[in-house]
Amino acid sequence: MPILGDLLFRAVDGAFAVDAKQRIIYWDPGCEELFNRPSKKVLGRTCCEVMRGVSPVSGELFCGENCHVAQLANGGVAPKSFSIQTKADDDDKPLTLSVNVVLVPSPCKKRWIVMHLLHRGMSRDILTAMDCALRAGRPATAATCTGDDEEVVLRITKREQDVLQLLAEGLPCPAISKRLDISVTTVRNHVQHIQNKLGVHSQTEAVAYAYRHNLVH
């Protein structure tokens, strides 16, 4: 039986957390991939400055200095799920995300850490995603629930494709780290995301899947 943390990892495309002052205090590798923003350039900045989210329906600014979601850290009232539209740093195309909010106890009394769980697309419910992950035993993507393997393939990011190609060439993680100028830890995180998205349990299976589906050459 997968543990809760494992199900969360499968169910989300990225996660970040903010404190009571709206400062980002956690930025996971999934967010680094989604927005092409390394954690060292994000941590300590306000979430509204980084996300710059707007309503995907009206186009009005959603993220701001008086964000009701961030105010949940002080015990405020705000939606626990919503959709926003933003952009990655290297892409002009709008990126639509559904966001689920989870409160984590803060070391400060009577305050919370506000965890944002991100999913590509609109109105993705975290419990539904986790249920799909549990029943299917593979990443909780649209493809997981529909059986459409092509959708899983489309979810592989460009950087994950680069890592997968180098894995197929037989390079170990340290060598991939040097080739792509990223840390070994980041490479291993990419490998784990690839395995989860492809529904496999090892690097060997990931490479075999990639060759069968023409993901590498």
- Number of domains the chain is built from: 2
Strand partners, 112: 105
| pLDDT confidence tier of residue 43, bands split at 50, 70 and 90 | very high
In a domain, 57, yes or no: yes
| CA dihedral of residues 37, 39, 44, 46 (deg, nearest 10) | 30
Average pLDDT over residues 56-82: 76
Instruction: Tell me how far apart the alpha carbons of residues 47 and 65 are, in angstroms, rounded to a whole number.
Output: 9
> Residue 67 in 3-state DSSP?
coil
Per-residue pLDDT at 79 = 61
The CA radius of gyration of the chain, in Å to the nearest whole number, is 18
Instruction: Tell me how far apart the alpha carbons of residues 138 and 90 are, in angstroms, rounded to a whole number.
Output: 29
Q: Per residue in 176-194, pLDDT tens?
A: 999 999 999 999 999 988 8
Residue 115 pLDDT > 50: yes
Per-residue pLDDT at 140 = 40
Per-residue pLDDT at 215 = 78
User: What single DSSP character describes residue 37?
Assistant: -
The range of the structural domain enclosing residue 102 comes to 4-127
Per-residue pLDDT at 65 = 82
Instruction: Tell me how far apart the alpha carbons of residues 183 and 177 are, in angstroms, rounded to a whole number.
Output: 5
Residues 170 and 105 in one domain: no
Residue 59 pLDDT > 90: no
Angle subtended by helix axes 184-198 and 4-11, to nearest 10: 80
In a domain, 18, yes or no: yes
In a domain, 136, yes or no: no
Q: Per residue in 166-176, pLDDT tens?
A: 988 888 899 99
Residues 45 and 110 in one domain: yes
Q: Per residue in 121-152, pLDDT tens?
A: 755 555 555 555 554 454 443 333 444 444 55
Residue 63 pLDDT > 90: no
| pLDDT confidence tier of residue 47, bands split at 50, 70 and 90 | very high
Mean pLDDT in the chain?
Answer: 77
Per-residue pLDDT at 23 = 92
Which CA distances in Å does 129 have to 14, 82, 120, 142, 195?
13, 15, 12, 9, 17
Query: Which CATH number characterizes residue 199's domain?
Result: 1.10.10.10
Query: Which CATH number characterizes residue 14's domain?
Result: 3.30.450.20
pTM: 0.56
Residues 73 and 118 in one domain: yes
